[in-house]
């Protein structure tokens, strides 16, 4: 019953935000006032506030009060990043599937917003890699390359979500690099195609190349037939332990 009452308080606070009665940065009424307004006990209200603070809707400041956060996508999606981290070894294929479905859209939407400075940075990222580059450098460059493009997507929720998905699949990409001798050359070629399509203003081509790029990692993982957190002999493929 206590849980149902807390849910009522959560819904009420959420509605206040949706209705505009509480705006980003606003301080909540006192605990006594808010509990009476909603019609719940102060204990139930505390549970609701705690739950909403966990997902970064509310910010509890000791000795100062409780405030509505800025409600930015980066804050609101933090809890999803935590969940992805917990499941990163068992859900690589599912996460890669999400990237394949969503990242090409972000690339396409980012195309008209990329600046000359952005292209210079992307060129530099590619120039710093070669066949002798280490796997860790390759994965770091891969994440940075996609992050820069995705951050030019005008949909902040999409770009923030893709940040979480990219970091959650980095281990799979390290494993691929360790077992695929052509991983660096292939990644550079795929990145170059995406970049040149964007530079030419061909958002449609960039979207197609981005789809193929993520699908390549996904297909490789399917072919392995084993999760990237364990090799055939039971050792960690990245650390060897």
Please give the residue that has the higher pLDDT: either 5 or 77: 5
pTM of whole model > 0.75? Answer: no
Q: What is the pLDDT of residues 27-48, one digit of tens each?
A: 999 999 999 999 999 999 999 9
Helix (H, G, I), strand (E, B) or coil at 59: strand
Residues 217-240: pLDDT tens digits? Answer: 888 777 766 444 443 343 343 333
* Cα–Cα distance for residue pair 195/182, rounded to 1 Å: 20
Helix, coil or strand: residue 74: helix
DSSP string, 185-201: HHHHHHHHHHHHHHHTT
Would you state the pLDDT for residue 241? Answer: 33
């Amino acid at each position: 019953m206590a849980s149902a009452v807390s849910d009522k308080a959560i819904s009420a606070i959420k509605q206040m935000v949706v209705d505009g009665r509480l705006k980003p940065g606003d301080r909540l009424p006192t605990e006594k006032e808010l509990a009476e307004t909603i019609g719940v006990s102060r204990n139930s209200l505390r549970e609701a506030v705690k739950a909403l603070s966990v997902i970064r809707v509310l910010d509890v400041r000791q000795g100062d009060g409780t405030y509505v956060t800025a409600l930015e996508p980066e804050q609101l999606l933090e809890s999803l990043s935590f969940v992805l981290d917990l499941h990163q070894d068992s859900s690589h294929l599912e996460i890669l599937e999400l990237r394949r479905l969503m990242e090409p859209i972000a690339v396409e939407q980012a195309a008209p917003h990329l600046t000359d400075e952005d292209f210079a940075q992307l060129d530099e990222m590619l120039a710093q890699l070669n066949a002798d580059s280490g796997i860790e450098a390759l994965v770091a460059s891969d994440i940075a390359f996609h992050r820069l493009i995705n951050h030019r997507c005008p949909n902040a929720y999409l770009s923030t979500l893709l940040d979480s998905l990219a970091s959650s699949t980095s281990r799979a990409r390290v494993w691929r690099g360790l077992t695929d001798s052509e991983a660096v050359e292939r990644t550079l070629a795929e990145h170059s195609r995406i970049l040149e399509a964007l530079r030419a203003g061909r958002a449609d081509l960039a979207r197609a190349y981005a789809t193929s790029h993520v699908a390549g990692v996904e297909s490789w993982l399917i072919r392995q037939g084993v999760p990237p957190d364990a090799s055939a002999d039971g050792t960690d493929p990245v650390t060897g332990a």
